[in-house]
Structure 1
């Protein structure tokens, strides 16, 4: 199928209550891919989302206040269903569990899906959900273990946009990083499971030519800055804040780190391969599914800083290994996680119930 070939799906409604992160980037990416292939879309989102204008370039956007009031919730859901019917969509996809309570009631003229990019947290709001789509097998396995019908649970992963050929890397000097340094890059929310502390501890055990770029924001940011100070690496650990499009930072780095404890997918792994970086990760569920150890990246036990350091040292010392995993990762990304392939899977699944 050509990149912009029309799909079976003609109209699609979305409900997305997210703020700003990797899930939101993929939401915009997928809706754009649908639009390129002729799918008309409408999305119901919270007000003042930073990605609202980008989404509106290819999708009708309706900004709502989603009330927690039991009575108002029914009115809002009825209003959403009325607008979706007026738009003419027969398929609605909610994004993450909070969207489940706003899905219209399924029936002969409405099919409903809930797309999960994280672990399910119970089904008490899933009354209008017909089908689950998880972006990893582990998410779906957990949902089925918790009681969700296996025949109504499906795996469709993510894709990333190819980097523009003319994309320029950021200037390292702008971030107090020497040009001859080896730059490790770790991206995500500063929360416990992302284990930014492991990245900092690893830098403290590695040669002084190794620097780390930590990209993101969150509740543990100040704690991580304090840890860097305590370990004496404030000159080599650089906190670069949240970046909506980290591509130019990835392009300027040398090794992608994903040292998380509980990572459902690890979209950063895909982004690392996409940027041509060798990937070093811990063996949480998502990276373990994505990465073939020693071929498309290196894996070490979760929480094991010694194992993480050993993987990084191998990438530094075994140049042939670093080159081989870069090439194999890029080839695997193209074969299994291309836009064309993932969109085709969504098209088949979303049309299967109509």
Structure 2
């Protein structure tokens, strides 16, 4: 059932002390308010409310706890050069959440109305948007199945919510080259699976490989395809790009990797800037050969959390593959600087990506 959302506002009586912007970390501090609404069969979305941040009460039989019907998104708000608070491509994130919802047999949200609720919440919590260089307000929309039932079927009740947290750099090393472990034993997703959905199970399944990579001194995991363990797919928290022979190369979308908003931003900016780019399959054998002959000059990840993350080294089959002398390359630097400037309204927005929230 579709109906216009009526949003109730209930302000927090006691406000939290805001954290030191020089020591935010990532995902440790949460704002004063959150947005919540519920869905049930026959009633649709209802009880939409901006309310004080706080815990939920779930029945032990809530189906999310047993069958993992859960999806989420990640986007950011920034202090703009004109003093406004800017959201970057928020509708793209909310529409991607709806695509995840369809794959996971969950109800779609009214994206435009949820965006208006988000803008109201950010206006209310404007003081939580950090102004320190490189800092931002991370926004996490999520949906979980709340029907109390044990027995496999799509749930009849859901909870959607949005929480926010001020964040600094995603990686402790900041914008510096990272070391990636190329995983050829475990797999993240297979054709026909849920790899392109932003659902919690994908990330839970990646934790063992991530822990192993950390133990080897690596920052993240680079996943290969499930069928041949040969072709590059994506990083644990981002899409991946290579600069080979002056061309920007990234694996194609095919159902097994997340269609990243930042990935799409990079490709569109590359077209704007006259950088040759291609979406094609790329094997580790090609990567190794290009590294050996010097044609592989850069590699970097792209994602909401880190924006652009240069890669200085891959570890593959116990061999170290160094990229660009282990230094940040000019292409990664240009995208990092350009996207950040765009997100803060410091360069023209020719694509209509910016939404003023406050």
* Greater share of helix: 1
TM-score, normalising length: structure 2: 0.31
TM-score, normalising length: structure 1: 0.31
* Greater share of strand: 2
